[in-house]
Amino acid sequence: DAKTTQPPSMDCAEGRAANLPCNHSTISGNEYVYWYRQIHSQGPQYIIHGLKNNETNEMASLIITEDRKSSTLILPHATLRDTAVYYCIVRSVNNDMRFGAGTRLTVKP
Amino acid sequence: EAEVAQSPRYKITEKSQAVAFWCDPISGHATLYWYRQILGQGPELLVQFQDESVVDDSQLPKDRFSAERLKGVDSTLKIQPAELGDSAMYLCASSPVGGRARNEQFFGPGTRLTVL
């Protein structure tokens, strides 16, 4: 599976959009981009995934560049409860999930 | 909403002792995963089951760790003997085989193990 690179930490003001970047320059054609988050002392929670088209759900939007070498997770209106570690993962459907260290997002009032 | 159940939530043990963790996946989920998460790191897959069969245990330290899912429903992860380096969060996750949700893994709250 392709490796990902994420900044170790980011801050965001409450109510503003949080834009979390992820680089995955070695992604293969059959690999999806997944985002999970882990709030302190809880198990990871699925957010969104995509292959090459941008995706949106009730939690977030996922923007994937045309060359698929990077993506951005957007939380449109961050709240204090969005403070968590966000993991960007690339994998093909039948391969295991390989988590990196993720980005620690702190939403500040 | 259905959830993955794990017990105990916390476990403190002395090195050389045996410990066991239990996981009950979401009903109907055929795939079950055990992960280990060391503080400050992302989860690392230990073992994956499809029904009662092990699909991947390449990262499971088999000299001391064992996992089973005898009836293809709930699962037990055992460590014997525990070592100081085993202190971590042990997470269980499950996913269905088919449908759109097969892309998503549902995680339990985890068991935090401390080995003294």
Residue B34, class by beta-carbon neighbours within 10 Å (0-12 exposed, 13-18 middle, 19+ buried)?
Answer: buried
| pLDDT value for A98 | 85
| pLDDT value for A1 | 59
B54 backbone φψ class: left, alpha, beta (φ>0; ψ -120 to 50): beta
| pLDDT value for B104 | 84
For residues A28 and A2, is the Cβ–Cβ distance under 8 A? yes
Per CB-CB distance under 8 Å, the chain A contacts of B102 are 93
Residue ranges for chain A with pLDDT beneath 70: 1-2, 93-95
Phi, psi (rounded to 5 degrees) for A69: -85, -5
Q: Do B107 and A98 touch (CB under 8 A)?
A: no
Per CB-CB distance under 8 Å, the chain A contacts of B43 are 44, 97, 99
Of B23, B77, B74, B21, which is closest to residue B51 (Cα–Cα)? B74
Residue ranges for chain B with pLDDT beneath 50: none
Per CB-CB distance under 8 Å, the chain B contacts of A1 are none
For residues A46 and A34, is the Cβ–Cβ distance under 8 A? yes
| pLDDT value for B16 | 96
Instruction: Establish if B5 touches chain A: CB-CB under 8 angstroms.
Output: no
